[in-house]
Amino acid sequence: MAASSRPRGPRLFDLPNDVKKLLTIDTFKGNVSTDDFMEKISSNLVEQMKDHTGAGTAFDPKPFIRTFENVLEELVQLRTRVQEQCDELENSTQIVEHQYKKDIADMHSAFDDVYRSYDSLESRIGDVGNTAIRIGEQLETIDKQRSRASESRDIIEYFMEFQEGNSERLSLLCEGGDEGQLKAAIICRRLNAVAKEVDTDVKARIGIEKFCESFEKEMLEDFDRAYKEGDPRVMAHRAKVLFEFNGGASCVQTYVNQHEFFISNKKIEEMEELRRSEDNLDLSNPNIPPPEVDTSLVKLYDDIRITVRKEANIISAVFPQPATVMQVFLQRVFAQSIQNHVELLLSRAERYSHLAYLRTLASTHSETKRLVENLKFYCDKEAKLTDAADASGLLTSASPEEALDRCMSDLFVPYTEADRYLSREKLALNELFGRIIAEFLNYMQERKKNSARNQSVLTRTLNQISQSTSGTMLYPGGGGDLTTGSPLTSTNPFETGVNRDVSSSNPMQQAYRNMMGDTGNLITVDNDGFKLLSRDAIMRMLNIHAEAIVRCMELSDAQDLPNSILFLYSVLLDFIGTKYLDIALDDVIEELGSKAEPDTSCFPVVLTTTKVIQLMQKHFQTAVLPLVVGSPSVHRNVLGSKNKFMAALENKANDVLRKELESITSWLKELLSLQKRNDFRPKDEDVIMMSMGTQPCVQIVDFITRIYRAACKSLQGKNLETFLFNIGQKFHLMLLDHFKKFYVTPTGGLLVTKDISKYEEVIQMFKIPALNDLFEMLRQLGNIFLVKPEILRSILSEGYLARLDPSMLYPYLEKRVDFKSAKLDRILGVVDENAANATPADSKAQRRSLFVNENTVLKEMRKNYNRDFLNQEFIAAFKS
């Protein structure tokens, strides 16, 4: 600021012209770089310095100082001028802004005046409008009264003319073109109403009725002629006249009744051909997916689509109320064409099987539903069929969409109402499931006959299945029931009842063969000859049930669907549970209790039960659960039924395995009892003969190996491990008690260790560490029969034997023939004076006490072993 107020004096050195050009306002517009500016004003000085300065000359800063001082002075002056301009512009802006605000305030005031003027004008216009409306209403009322009075006068005049027997004026009006006919229709309708009210003048009433009948007949003839000639203009006029005359009912009926779609000879021939044709035999084969919709029905529906699409445009152009006319047309299509065709298809399918009937019903329902959706689209989106004001006397004001829904419902109500559909579905499932399990049930019946065991449940089941599989199949030729005659001896309905000569080309028999399919893979036979349903058979039953669920989704209402699914699922549970697995498991349990040597037939049954439970669970989650989860009560019921079914099967499977384990234990005891008294006191030649082990040992090893292989094929994971552990544990306890019973010579000690080694080897196949420990302890225990007395003490101080109280080994040591001669009781450090003087009862009590201690030691070795076996019920059974 000091520099700006300093008076400007003469300069000794003036600035160059190129520097002066830089000292303008334009130079500083936009982004200005200080370095570039300084470089530009000092560029000439730098060049001059390079030209006049030698190598040893010092730098002279004075030219730069003078130039920068002059530039600074010019910049200060430039800033002063710019500031003055800014001040002037700000003052001018403030003046303009003040004036602008004043103008805006004046304009607001003017606009307020205009708004008030408009409000006042609008209020006055509203008053005028209300006055005009009231005047218009009064004029309209007066006009209606005048028109009604005029019309009443005309009606009275026409009525009086009819009293005189004269109708020429009305006839001339009818001949007066389109307008005259329309007016005549209105007059005739009113005259007809008056004639019905006035009962005293019979002559006028008869004359009016005859004229109206003649007028209607003439209009209908004109409409029919125009319809045949394809003249939509004349049709539209006559339809309008008839709608004014009587609501158009006669016109609509004429249009519908004479439509080519209903009277075509080609349609009649197609229906006759359909009656003579045979049904698709694949419909009765559950092993083949449901065939496509019947081709004749598809062709009919295609024709209906084409016809309705065409007629929707014609009806919309001809009739004053096209929606109502289209409703009548659609009702006729459903009542005459579709219903007859559907009834024919269902009656034809019903002659073959319940499955063919249900498949036809479901496919027909699905295709009809698709047709209804197409027709709704044609009527609503394309032709835009809507009625104008209601016409007097016409059928109904329902929309075509509502009419189509009602027609669809009426068409299938006879087949789906109440429990008709579900009852038929149950019959079909009973029939199909019964055929699948029939061979198994017959086999079980033969088994029970041979064993003379109780077969009341099985017989009742077979009777139920025979009724469902053969009682509904009708003989196509004679129309009789194939079950009439002798009792059921086969599941094939063509082999039951009285003898009949049924040719191999019979379609009914062929349908049955297709239904049964190749039944060779429905039954599996185990090594013991026990027959069970194969996995393919169970999958076939589940596929049949899944197809039934799909049909149920198609044919049941949404609110009834969960309960229907529960009903169908209960049928499946009944067959697979009560009529199949329960019978198989009960039979196995009875067999296990009646045989001395247990076989391995129980394991395939347990395996089959496990696989069926897995398949049923997957089927439940995939096909059943998604359809019932939306209904909490049904969901709870179906889940309870499924859990009860699976728990019952698991319990019976547990009973089978527990019974098998008891039988195995009993048989092992039986084999051990075959051990001869002198087997472990052999002669030299006996040792050579028993080099592979004693005879009971060989039989036991072979038996356990056979049980192990059968169990491995049927059980898995913890189930297999726990089952084998229980066999090994019980067998170990038997052996501990077994070797207390026989005196052993040094040579017999070799046989003892050989037997124990064989037992240990077969148990090691189980691959259960706890059992390996138990039999390793048994092997070490067997060594005390083999070693010499002088090294016996070292044997007892090593391995598992070192963990036992020496008194627990006493029952085994005393079975050595050298027990007294070698004074082995002293090696144990036991004073046996009491034992020597003890009575036989005391000795027995002592041995019982030692056996309890041995069990305590074994429990200690097994205390951390997991004994899960299928479920807790089986564990509880073992504990008991």
Q: In this predicted model, what pLDDT tens digit does every residue of 356-412 receive, in sequence order?
A: 999 999 999 999 999 999 988 887 765 555 554 443 444 445 677 888 899 999 999
Higher pLDDT, 521 or 77: 77
Average pLDDT on 527-535 reads 79
* pLDDT band (50, 70, 90) for residue 567: very high
Nearest to 543 by CA among 474, 623, 453, 606: 623
Q: 322: which residues sit within 8 A by CB, 6+ positions away?
A: 312, 315, 316, 383, 385, 386, 387
Neighbours of 847 (CB within 10 A): 15
> What is the average pLDDT across 429-436?
92
Q: How would residue 201 be classed by pLDDT, with cut points 50, 70 and 90?
A: low
**pLDDT > 80? residue 825:** no
Do residues 784 and 802 touch, judged by C-beta distance below 8 A?
no
Q: What is the C-alpha R_g of the chain?
A: 55
Which of 378-382, 383-387, 550-554, 580-584 reaches the highest mean pLDDT? 550-554
Q: Specify which of 165-179, 368-382, 684-698 reaches the highest per-range mean pLDDT.
A: 368-382
Residue 237 has pLDDT above 70, yes or no: yes
- What was the pLDDT predicted at 325? 85
Tokens for 265? 């000879």
Q: Select the more confidently predicted residue: 602 or 215.
A: 602
The chain-wide mean pLDDT, for the chain, equals 77
Task: Pinpoint the alpha helices (H) of 595-631.
Answer: 602-619, 625-628
Of 55-59, 644-648, 814-818, give the lowest mean pLDDT range. 55-59
The token pair at 147 is 């028109």
Per residue in 473-513, pLDDT tens?
Answer: 332 333 333 233 333 333 333 233 323 333 333 343 344 34
pLDDT score for 621: 94
Give the ranges where 30-176 is alpha helix by DSSP (H).
Answer: 34-41, 43-52, 62-163, 168-174
The two tokens of residue 267 are: 């349609």
Selected residue with higher pLDDT from 393 and 622: 622
d(CA 473, CA 431): 10
- The reported pLDDT for the residue numbered 874 is 30
Please count the CA atoms within 13 angstroms of the CA of 242 that sit on its side-chain side: 29
Least confident of 497-506, 644-653, 784-793: 497-506
**Mean pLDDT throughout 317-331?**
85
Lowest mean pLDDT among 298-307, 420-429, 593-602, 771-780: 593-602
Q: What is the DSSP letter of 53?
A: -
- For the cut 90, the answer to whether the pLDDT of residue 37 exceeds it is no
- Confirm if 482 and 493 have CB atoms less than 8 A apart: yes
User: Taking 80 as the threshold, does the pLDDT of residue 101 lie above it?
Assistant: yes
Q: Are 722 and 664 in contact (CB under 8 A)?
A: no
Nearest to 846 by CA among 857, 858, 834: 834
Question: What integer pLDDT is reported at residue 595 of this predicted model?
Answer: 67
Q: What is the 3-state secondary structure (H, E, C) of 749-769?
A: HHHHHHHHHHHHHHHHCCCCH
pLDDT confidence of residue 277: 63
Write down the pLDDT at residue 148.
72
Using DSSP's 3-state secondary structure scheme, residue 502 falls into coil
* Amino acid 479: pLDDT: 32
Residue 447, CA distances (Å) to 441, 457, 460, 461, 600 in order:
10, 14, 16, 15, 17
pLDDT tens for each residue of 731-782: 999 999 999 999 998 888 888 999 999 999 999 999 999 999 999 999 999 8
What confidence score (pLDDT) does residue 155 get? 73
Tell me the three state secondary structure of residue 201.
Answer: coil
Top-confidence residue, 544 or 154: 544
Which long-range CB contacts under 8 A does 297-302 form with residues at least 24 apart? 297/341, 297/342, 297/345, 297/364, 297/367, 298/367, 299/270, 300/270, 300/337, 300/338, 300/341, 301/367, 301/368, 301/371
Q: Which residues of 584-618 are buried (b: 16+ CB within 10 A; e: fewer)?
A: bbbbbbbbbeeeeebbbbbbbbbbbbbebbebbee
Structure tokens at 93: 């802006």
pLDDT exceeds 50 at position 830: no
Q: What is the mean pLDDT of residues 403-429?
A: 91
pLDDT(226) > 90:
no
Q: Quick one: average pLDDT of 281-292? A: 86
Give the pLDDT score at 853: 36
Asked whether the predicted pLDDT for residue 684 surpasses 70, the reply is: no
Within its chain, how far is the Cα of 531 from the centroid? 34
104 phi/psi in degrees, rounded to 5 = -65, -40
Q: Summarize the confidence of residues 55-80 as an average pLDDT.
A: 78
Q: Which of 397, 391, 394, 396 is nearest to 186 (CA)?
A: 391
Look at 194-198, 435-439, 584-588, 869-873 and tell me which has the smallest mean pLDDT: 869-873
**For residue 686, is pLDDT > 60?**
no
**Integer Cα distance of 784 and 773 in angstroms:** 18
Average pLDDT value for residue range 62-70: 81
Q: What's the confidence (pLDDT) of residue 773?
A: 92
Confidence check: pLDDT of 56 > 60: no
The stretch 840-854 carries a mean pLDDT of 37
What one-letter code names the amino acid at 677? R
**Which of 160-169, 205-214, 841-850 has the weakest average pLDDT?**
841-850
d(CA 397, CA 386): 10
* Window from 176-190, 322-336, 418-432, 536-550 with minimum mean pLDDT: 176-190
The answer, yes or no, to whether residue 180 has pLDDT greater than 60, is yes
Portion of the chain with pLDDT greater than 90, in percent: 28
The whole-angstrom separation of Cα 772 and Cα 766 is 9
Cβ contacts of 616 within 8 Å, gap of 6 or more: 542, 576, 642, 645, 646
Q: Give the mean model confidence (pLDDT) for residues 141-164.
A: 74
Residue 542 has pLDDT above 90, yes or no: yes
H-assigned helices in 715-831: 717-738, 746-764, 769-782, 792-796, 810-813, 824-827
Q: For residue 161, name the pLDDT band (cuts at 50, 70, 90).
A: confident
Rounded Cα distance between 876 and 855, Å, is 19
CA quadruple 502, 503, 504, 506: dihedral positive or negative?
negative
**Lowest mean pLDDT: which of 283-287, 444-448, 477-481, 528-532?**
477-481
Opening angle at CA 742, ends 739 and 745, nearest 5: 105
153 pLDDT higher than 90: no
N- to C-terminal Cα distance for the chain?
Answer: 114
DSSP-derived secondary structure letter, 530: -
pLDDT at 278 over 50: yes
One-character DSSP codes across 277-345: SPPPGGGG-TTSPPPPPPHHHHHHHHHHHHHHHHHHHHHHHH-SSHHHHHHHHHHHIIIIIIHHHHHHH
690 or 229, greater pLDDT: 229
Handedness of CA 49, 50, 51, 54 (dihedral sign): positive
Question: How far from the centroid of its chain's Cα atoms is residue 421's Cα?
Answer: 21
pTM of the full structure: 0.66
